[in-house]
Amino acid sequence: MGLNYYKIKKNVLKARKLVIKGTTAAGSGHPGGSFSMAEIMGCLYYKHLKFDPKNPLWDDRDRLILSKGHASPGLYSNLAVAGYFEPAELETLRKFGSKLQGHPDLKCPGVEFCGGSLGLGLSYSIGNALAARLDNKNHRIYTVIGDGESNEGQVWEAAMAAVKFKTDNITAFLDRNFIQQDSYTEKIMPLDENLEGDDLSLMWKDASRWKIGDKWRAFGWNVIDIDGHRIEQIDNAIKKAKQAKGVPSIIIARTIKGKGVEHMEDNPQWHGKAPKPEMVPIINAELESHFVIAPSIIAGDMSNLEKEVKKCVVGRADYIHLDVMDGAFVPNTTFDHTKIKELRPLTIIPFDAHLMINEPVKHVREYVDAGSDIVTVHAEVCDESSFGEIHDILQQNGVGVGLAINPDTELPQWSHKFIENLEQLIVMSVVPGQSGQKYIESSHEKTQRLVSILKEHNFEGTIEADGGVTLENAGQCFTDGARAFVGGSAIIGQNDVRGIIREFRDTILKSRRRLLIQKANELGGKELVNEWIDLHVVGEKKNQLIQIAKELGFN
């Protein structure tokens, strides 16, 4: 079974937008802590958690205990997306008589624990774990605790008890976002190391400062450290926790408070504060415009693709793009599913397999079995029947469904019935199978035109720009509508892959900021532009936004 990367990602986006909707309607709430745990909740609900929204009290369900109860919008939003109640109910958040109160309440279907006072969720989880043992049940207990609430002694008493009673059916997550109600955690009661100043990036960059894992190990827990916003790392950590016998597991998820909305990120003001209604369309546009970088390893040393995969890992690529060429559909030959299977153990980063081959319907299962997380086939070698079969195979195996079109190919009519379930559309901007080509300029207009067609058919997937993408044109590709960027010689062909990926992110991020300032101007002119800019108080973001506004004549 594949990672289900795109399904999780799409549902995380839906949940984040519902958090904004609910807290805005309430005029209060906690978006920051809801967003820091968003990917954790997404991986649980849409990959690992056993539940039935039609039967919330099903005996064999897994239990999800939200100990950091003030982040209830992040729980409610996922319950809504999972089907426990209609998403529109988020607009009743914190209202008198609503089942969606400021802290989770058992009147809401799917809620397992009334998380009011902090520090109690882990103790409650131990009770659930021991009850499951007495009842000979094999369901699991998942517990999300906050780093601020870890000031409570009750947490550490529970940590000892969980080990004493060998509750290996508990997997806890520490949402390690470094911020609690009053300030940064390391200035109040450090779990890692004292923080001098307000630069939280210091805590991210220097692993020698990380002490909290050692604390939990000293209590006897199985400890797994991850980036709490990398879906593949969360998924892998949950799998490892399930394998641990005789001890409970805790996943230390290093996260960013307010992740996904720049002015909320790492900003203590957004611990418990609702957005203004006029900002919601801009925030939603920001959430919808997240992007990924996918280096294409065939631009490196084809005789040592293992080395190229490792460069992607060091470079912190979002995907690894695997160009499969058969020498028939395209003139060149690269590798097939056997090589992908060899490369798969090297990393858990999602594999984005682009099949430039004839008759892909005959081979797609081989690429699923090899460990691909996303498989894209070409429209030129498919029809409605064969693509329908490919679509079904990929969906049944938790693999992202992709369709690619060559520069001289338009989106075929038969594809329209699949667009709503399509997870990736690759718009080729070079002729596939020929090296050293430059970006075909007409691809900009083509991508913009496709955005309108896809929107008409309820497309919720990602447009991937592939071919000749460089630092010079990546920003324009983003403006066109692309949100995934394949880089061959421009990324994997460079000496410092990590540095060049960082440059790509900065370039695309500038285009995203420009898009949001334009959105603010459309909605409220210069006044709203300035209000939007003034929200960005952490780091150097504000200065760049001011400069962009000046360039656009909005300041």
Local structure of residue 47 (DSSP, 8 states): I
Please, is 471 exposed, middle or buried when counting C-beta atoms within 10 Å of its C-beta (0-12, 13-18, 19+)?
A: middle
Q: Tell me what pLDDT residue 256 has.
A: 95
Domains of the chain from N-terminus onward: 5-277 (3.40.50.970), 291-494 (3.20.20.70), 496-555 (no CATH)
Phi, psi angle pair for 469, to nearest 5°: -80, 125
Interatomic CA distance for residues 155 and 70, integer angstroms? 17
- Percent of the chain exceeding pLDDT 90 equals 91
**3-class SS letters over 398-415:** CCEEEEEECCCCCCCHHH
Local structure of residue 473 (DSSP, 8 states): T
Is the alpha carbon torsion for 34, 35, 36, 38 positive or negative? positive
Phi, psi angle pair for 351, to nearest 5°: -95, 120
Q: 327: helix, coil or strand?
A: coil
Query: In DSSP terms, which residues pair with 226 in a beta bridge?
Result: 253
- Tokens representing 84 are 């426990």
Name the region of 197 (left: φ>0; alpha: ψ -120 to 50; beta: rest). Answer: left
DSSP calls for 67-128: SSGGGHHHHHHHHHHHTSS-GGGGGGTT-TT-S--SS--TTSTT------STT-HHHHHHHH
Residue 152 near residue 189 (C-beta atoms within 8 A): no
Local structure of residue 278 (DSSP, 8 states): G
- Tokens representing 39 are 């990917």
Interatomic CA distance for residues 244 and 265, integer angstroms? 34
Residue 68 near residue 272 (C-beta atoms within 8 A): no
In the numeric block, the tokens 């001289």 are attached to 408
Q: Tell me what pLDDT residue 479 has.
A: 98
> Which of the residues in the chain have pLDDT under 50?
none
Q: What is the CA radius of gyration of the chain?
A: 24
Interatomic CA distance for residues 234 and 15, integer angstroms? 17
Q: Tell me what pLDDT residue 12 has.
A: 98
Query: In DSSP terms, which residues pair with 230 in a beta bridge?
Result: none
Is the alpha carbon torsion for 194, 198, 200, 201 positive or negative? negative
Strands laid side by side in the 484-487 sheet: 292-295, 484-487, 462-466, 424-428, 400-405, 374-378, 351-356, 320-325
Name the region of 525 (left: φ>0; alpha: ψ -120 to 50; beta: rest). Answer: left
Q: Diameter of the chain by CA atoms?
A: 69
CA-CA-CA-CA dihedral for 241, 219, 256, 190, to nearest 10:
-170
CA-CA-CA-CA dihedral for 178, 210, 252, 80, to nearest 10:
20
Closest CA to 434 of 327, 347, 339, 361: 327
Local structure of residue 368 (DSSP, 8 states): H
Interatomic CA distance for residues 198 and 196, integer angstroms? 7
Q: Tell me what pLDDT residue 450 has.
A: 98
At residue 65, what is the residue type? I
In the numeric block, the tokens 């919808």 are attached to 288
Q: Tell me what pLDDT residue 142 has.
A: 98
Q: Tell me what pLDDT residue 23 has.
A: 98
Strands laid side by side in the 222-227 sheet: 63-66, 141-146, 170-176, 249-254, 222-227
Closest CA to 162 of 131, 126, 135: 126
pTM above 0.85, yes or no: yes
pLDDT tens digit string along 225-262? 999 999 999 999 999 999 999 999 999 999 999 999 99
Q: Tell me what pLDDT residue 435 has.
A: 66
Q: Name the packing angle between helices 305-314 and 497-534 (round to 10°).
A: 30
Interatomic CA distance for residues 45 and 388, integer angstroms? 27
pLDDT tens digit string along 432-472? 987 678 999 999 999 999 999 999 999 999 999 999 999 99
Q: How many helices (H) and strands (E) in the chain?
A: 19, 13
